[in-house]
Amino acid sequence: MTLVEAAATVRGNAYAPYSSFKVGAAIRAESGAVHLGVNVENAAYPEGTCAEAGAIAAMVAAGDRRIAEVAVIADAPRPVPPCGGCRQKLAEFADGGVRVTLATTRGEVMVTTVADLLPGAFDARDMAE
């Protein structure tokens, strides 16, 4: 199963009763393990969770710390990029050259990188004294 297929499969588990906009994410860690996430909405907006954040949390909970590849899928007219917060979260655990595949349920695919999604990312080097 490809990373996009894994994201598409888990997307069905998303909890999106308010928007009906289900998103699935799959992260392959440098260890080779695949970690999945879905968006989880909440009646008290903006307390929901993005699919990418869920996949990152699953990765960290499993003991992995570095992302090797990402896939995100949604039922949208075009491939939907991660929100700004999730772009920063991805940059925390991935090098700029890490491949990010954005897909639609209709088969459209766009391939980009973490650096292209978040140029000039704030990172640990910016915290140095």
| Residues recognised as catalytic | 52
Token match 């879905």: residue? 38
23 contacts 72 by C-beta, under 8 angstroms: yes
The closest of 114, 91, 11, 84 to 54, measured between CA atoms, is 11
Q: Which DSSP category does 126 fall into?
A: G
